[in-house]
Amino acid sequence: MKRLLIVESPAKIKTIKKFLGADYKIMSTMGHIKDLPTREMGVTRDPITLTYVAIEKKDKTIAELCKAAQSVDEVYLAPDPDREGEIIAWHVYEEIKKLVKNPKKIYRIAFNEITKSAVIDAIEHPHSIDMQKVAAQQARRVLDRWVGYEVSPILWRKITKGLSAGRVQSVALKIICEREEAIRAFKPEEYWSIHGLFKNGEGQLLAPLTNIGTKKAEIPSEEAAKKILADLQKAEYAITEINDKKRSKNPLPPFMTSTLQQAGYNNLGFSVQKTMQLAQNLYEGIPLGDGTPVALITYMRTDSLRIADSALKSVRDYVGKKFGDAYLPSSANVYEKKSKTNTQDAHEAIRPIDVSVTPDQVKAFAEPHQAKLYEIIWNRFVASQMTPANFAQRQVVIKGDKYVFKATGSTLLFDGFLKVYNVEEDDAGEDEEKVKIPEGFKKGADLDLKKIDPKQHFTQAPPRYSEASLVKELEKEGIGRPSTYATILKTICAREYTTLEKKRFVPTELGMMVIKLLNESFSHIMNLKFTALMEEDLDKIAAGELDRDKLLNEFYINFEKDLSAFKGSTGRASQPTNLLCPMCKEKNLAIRFGKAGEFVGCEGFPECSFTSNFARNEETGDIILVEKEKPQNLDLACPQCGKPMREMTGKFGKFISCSGYPDCKYILQNKAGFQCPMDGGDVCERKWRGGTFWGCKNYPKCKYALFGDIEETPCPQCKAPALLKKTDSKTGVVTLSCADKKCGYQR
């Protein structure tokens, strides 16, 4: 009997192939094969219908799947076990159902891990496509399509071209912008701290002033600090209390998607997108030992903390044998997500498939970053099924008149799970202050104050979001799904709504303006609670508790009203400032947007035509006018007209052009040392919003292009004239690869 098994990613094929016999042909959809059309809405209302078309360049994939399905007796649809995977399975089913010998022999299977037992078990227990999951995915897609396709064109008209709005993306951007507004509005306040160094014959101890009488010590100024210092110099000190207690520190649960993304960022320095890509590699399989791919972790898109009984037994056996009974709890540790909102329990937590495959074994074969991610997944999973760490905690209370100093220290009595996983970033704030209490410090003992250390401080503005802290905030608020976070973060940067400065999200003026408009006109969909509740409703559709069309129609009724009002408002959007126009001295300046980006212009335009570049004060957020850089003439003649060349600043940075513009439009370009392989034209370096690229001078007739840096070395495999060059910013390792993906050459 011939069988066809269809997976989502081609990387899984080698791993699965070794489990199944020659009767099975394994093919890949390479992601989605169909979607809503790109140039039209693709969704009608009353009744709601969706029009699907083949994704660009997927016609060949669909044809190959259909041809293969015709020649087999059974088809197993095995895309990823989530909503996106379910819609892919349904799209494949719709394409092949009329071509197979028996449509009843088309099965949906799913597995949480790519192991022989999991794959065989899935084949032995097939099921039909879950149309409720399909409906939930469709509802999400329609909601995003309505918001994106209806709102984005209006943003183009009101601000500038190329903008987009997104139901979840815009709410994430709103969180970043609100934090920026809080930073700009923040006014630092002065406060002081005082530490005393106390000593007796047995040792010394540094302790902070915590109380004055029964009240918390609050020192607002230097004057107040000096008054306290004068009192402290006169006082006599003694230890009035020594409090001893034991404290346990429990292990952390295994990873789910969001916590893995945070740990990847905080502990390994990986972006959210990189963490997910590496996890995908580990899930699909890494060649170990004999070169055969071995799947190392369970499915990486999950927000469940559940662990299969077989995995619990395996890890408990491992802990008992490796570390001894003292490290093994009497029963398995069970974890629940703190917030049960938006929890999908279809998959387990992220864990190693085989706990006996240790990080050291993987290091020998995997790429360094893959090995590092596997190590923290393995360590955290094993530690999650170990006993707590135990500490002895001692607090010393020192009094001098009404002034109270307290110091707390702890000693590790038993390391427990810390033997395997001891990462401070995961539970910041829970670690004990590293204070050593001298053994000779006893209750009632007199102490000498050897030194007083007063320090001035200022309250700090709330920090900007990093990738990790933004993911944490999105999860806390129930915004989106952990599996979508990487795409959200990528989109808001790609659209130039934010920049990353010192690994923190800083909204651009464009991003702030977009959110201002959306907040004013679409308060309903920009509400964080509304967005979180929508996620719950999508879960209800997947569970069969809510009708897809009922949800969509209710959403559109309010959305349509807001949309109509937004369309009706006229004029280009601008953001008023408190700066008086220096030209007319009558109107204030406002932030506006043009082809070259943001600028400030007089609100009295067209009567007053003043414009200027500007910057913001990093601390206060105030607008500062920046004088436009004047073109600099160079000692270089234009090869076309002979006039001097000059250095200019444009939208994408500096460039050199003829000073005779607009009569002469010559621009100096950096030419490659090879001709275009398509039409023989010159290949020149160009700049665009995404960076630099090399393209044929005969564009748009010829569309040959290489995006990124290049090395002018012919590809050894396909003889392409140049290789793409990528340098790892951390390691400095240079990777050269062929731009032709079909060639696949890389070194």
Residues 243-296: tens digit of each pLDDT: 999 999 999 999 999 999 999 999 999 999 999 999 999 999 998 877 788 999
Q: CATH 3.40.50.140 occupies which residues in the chain? A: 3-129
Higher-confidence residue: 650 or 733?
733
Report the C-alpha gap between 446 and 64 in whole angstroms: 87
Average pLDDT score over residue span 194-211: 93
Concatenate the DSSP letters of all residues of 649-702 into one string.
EETTEEEEEETTTTT---B---EEEEE-TTT--EEEEEEETTEEEEEETTTTT-
Report the C-alpha gap between 262 and 677 in whole angstroms: 45
Q: What is the CATH number of domain 257-384?
A: 1.10.290.10
- Identify the pLDDT of residue 157: 87
Local confidence band at 427 (pLDDT 50, 70, 90 cut-offs): very low
Local confidence band at 425 (pLDDT 50, 70, 90 cut-offs): very low
Which residues, 6 or more positions from 350, have their beta carbon under 8 angstroms from its beta carbon? Answer: 254, 255, 256, 257, 260, 279, 297, 298, 299, 300, 302, 377, 381
Topology given in CATH for the domain delimited by 3-129 = Rossmann fold (3.40.50)
Higher-confidence residue: 130 or 692?
130
Q: Which amino acid is at 337?
A: K
- Identify the pLDDT of residue 418: 96
Residues belonging to the chain = 747
Topology given in CATH for the domain delimited by 190-250+389-458 = Topoisomerase I; domain 3 (2.70.20)
DSSP letter at 472 equals H
**Is residue 231 over pLDDT 80?**
yes
Which residues, 6 or more positions from 49, have their beta carbon under 8 angstroms from its beta carbon? Answer: 43
**Is residue 429 over pLDDT 50?**
no
Average pLDDT score over residue span 441-466: 94
Which residues, 6 or more positions from 576, have their beta carbon under 8 angstroms from its beta carbon? Answer: 588, 590, 603
DSSP letter at 56 equals T
Three-state helix/strand/coil letters over 344-382: CCCCCCECECCCCCCHHHHHCCCCHHHHHHHHHHHHHHH
Report the C-alpha gap between 283 and 341 in whole angstroms: 26
With residue 66 as reference, give the H or E element that holds it: helix 59-70
- Identify the pLDDT of residue 273: 93
- Identify the pLDDT of residue 278: 96
Local confidence band at 421 (pLDDT 50, 70, 90 cut-offs): very high
- Identify the pLDDT of residue 338: 67
**Is residue 698 over pLDDT 80?**
yes
Report the C-alpha gap between 735 and 747 in whole angstroms: 6
* Model pTM above 0.85: no
pLDDT digits (tens, 9 = 90+) for 276-291: 999 999 999 998 877 7
Higher-confidence residue: 137 or 347?
137
pLDDT digits (tens, 9 = 90+) for 136-177: 999 999 999 999 999 999 998 888 887 888 889 999 999 999
DSSP letter at 643 equals P
Higher-confidence residue: 202 or 377?
377
Question: Which two three-digit tokens encode residue 125?
Answer: 């227990």
Q: CATH 1.10.460.10 occupies which residues in the chain? A: 137-186+467-568
In 3D, which of 628, 623, 629 has the Cα closest to residue 591? Answer: 623
Local confidence band at 426 (pLDDT 50, 70, 90 cut-offs): very low
pLDDT digits (tens, 9 = 90+) for 352-407: 999 999 999 999 999 999 999 999 999 999 999 999 999 999 999 999 999 999 99
pLDDT digits (tens, 9 = 90+) for 579-591: 999 999 999 999 9
Question: Which two three-digit tokens encode residue 722?
Answer: 């140049």
Architecture of domain 137-186+467-568: Orthogonal Bundle (1.10)
- Percent pLDDT > 70 in the chain is 95
Q: Is 4 exposed, middle or buried (0-12, 13-18, 19+ CB in 10 A)?
A: buried
Give the active site residues. Answer: 299
Average pLDDT, the chain: 90
Average pLDDT score over residue span 420-435: 59
Task: Report the 10 Å Cβ neighbour count for 101.
Answer: 13
